[in-house]
Amino acid sequence: MLATDAALYAALAKAQGQMQNPTKNREVQVKSDRGAYKFSYATLDSILDGIRKPLSDNGLAMTQSLEQRDTGLSMVMRIYHAGGGQITTAMPLDHARAVKMQELGSLMTFARRYQVAAFFGLAAEEDDDANSADGNQRELRDRKPTAPAAPAAPAKPDARSEFRRVRGLIQAAPDAISIAQLLMQEATALRMIKDASEDGYAALMKEKDQRIAQMQAEDE
């Protein structure tokens, strides 16, 4: 591992420790042939507002750009460190159904939001189901701010939330060494996931193997 990479990972770890899950400030009413339901999520601006200062305070910068790759159109995110290190991750876009520019813009926003939340291990939504790309009829309503409540004791993580968090970290890992380090650092979370569900643990390990295989294929 290069010294610049080590400095980048250390800065990224510190920045993540200063980040909190964003407030879910948007409520959506979805109507489809499967019925109607509601869910809440944090908008892209809410997520970005929460990560900019931790990144900047630790010498990190982030960019997201739409790029044409061998696998098709992708949202590419890059993390830069003041010391020279860089991490790049790409999220392919299923843009075949985006006929109008507005539909493509909606899909891009959806991809950016999911990409940032997954990379930094943030819980930014209750559920989403990719309605912006599916074209389901939706009613968007901003949640009205409520008076601040008294501080509550931190909630203990459950196996489901830990599974999502660790999966996001695996998907965002830049190389196999980082994944190995991640598995060691998250031993407690992995044990919780395995105790709760053998199938869930197996799915997480499969995700890990697929991510490493993808890295190897990209290096060839």
pLDDT digits (tens, 9 = 90+) for 61-101: 999 999 988 878 899 999 999 998 899 999 888 777 666 78
Quick one: which H or E segment has residue 60? strand 60-69
pLDDT at 133 exceeding the cut of 50: no
Give residue-wise pLDDT tens across range 178-216.
Answer: 777 777 788 888 888 888 888 888 888 888 888 888 877
- Which of the residue ranges 25-29, 47-51, 201-205 would you say has the lowest mean pLDDT? 25-29
Share of the chain above pLDDT 70, in %: 79
Q: What confidence score (pLDDT) does residue 128 get?
A: 47
* Neighbour-count burial for 140-161, b at 16+ CB within 10 Å, e otherwise: eeeeeeeeeeeeeeeeeeebee
Residue-range domain boundaries for the chain: 3-146, 157-220
Beta-sheet pairing, 26-32 with 35-41: antiparallel
Going by the DSSP 8-state scheme, the letter that residue 125 receives in this structure is B
- Report residue 5: phi and psi, to 5°: -65, -45
Answer with the residue of higher pLDDT: 130 or 48.
Answer: 48
Q: Residue 39 pLDDT > 90, yes or no?
A: no
Rounded to the nearest angstrom, the gap between the alpha carbon of residue 47 and the centroid of all alpha carbons in its chain is 10
